[in-house]
Amino acid sequence: GEDVEQSLFLSVREGDSSVINCTYTDSSSTYLYWYKQEPGAGLQLLTYIFSNMDMKQDQRLTVLLNKKDKHLSLRIADTQTGDSAIYFCAEATGNQFYFGTGTSLTVIP
Amino acid sequence: DAGVIQSPRHEVTEMGQEVTLRCKPISGHDYLFWYRQTMMRGLELLIYFNNNVPIDDSGMPEDRFSAKMPNASFSTLKIQPSEPRDSAVYFCASSLSSGDGYTFGSGTRLTVV
């Protein structure tokens, strides 16, 4: 399968911005996604970006895509304690998704 | 729509027993995926179906695992016989087509003792 890599942990203070990074290997990916997983729950689709875009903003979420470097990031503005969760990036190649290892975000009050 | 529905939410069984996990995808979705999540290996795709037909089962760990999709609204993942190393959270997901994103169920937490 394709390699999708993320750092494992991130801690931020409440009210600060969080930036979660992801790198992928398949340059033919058509869509890239961010999912959020809260404890004991399934993965929830947060946002996605089409590969011909370089930025997408949705309220507190900003997705940046650098296709040349195969780098995807998710910025969460004004991070709240409710944002504490594991965040997965995923790339879609054809009908299959390849998920990263997930980044565990801890928000410190 | 109630989303992707999985049952049971939790399953505890003894080694050697048969385990059946169930999934009801979102109505109209023509792709269905089974994933396994563990701390050590993260999310692993086990198998996926398109229009009830298994397309890729290369992620199924071994012959003890089998999956079926007898109709568009139901799929099962069976483990027989179960082993302690099968303990994990098993997720079912469905999608309409690539690009739409998957919708995940809440998962079944399986513990084999």
Residue segments in chain A with a per-residue pLDDT below the cut of 50: none
Interface test with B, best of A97, A101, A104 (most B CBs within 10 A): A97
> Which are the contacts of B77, defined by CB distance < 8 A and separation ≥ 6?
B20, B21, B23, B34, B46, B47, B65, B66, B67, B90, B92
Q: What is the 3-state secondary structure (H, E, C) of A15-72?
A: CCCEEEEEEECCCCCCEEEEEEECCCCCEEEEEEEECCCCEEEECCEEEEEECCCCEE
- B55 with A95: Cβ contact below 8 A: yes
If you average pLDDT over every residue of chain B, what do you get?
93
- B98 with A95: Cβ contact below 8 A: yes
- B91 with A43: Cβ contact below 8 A: yes
What's the confidence (pLDDT) of residue B81? 96
B31-46 residue pLDDT tens: 999 999 998 888 999 9
Interface test with A, best of B56, B102, B103, B106 (most A CBs within 10 A): B102
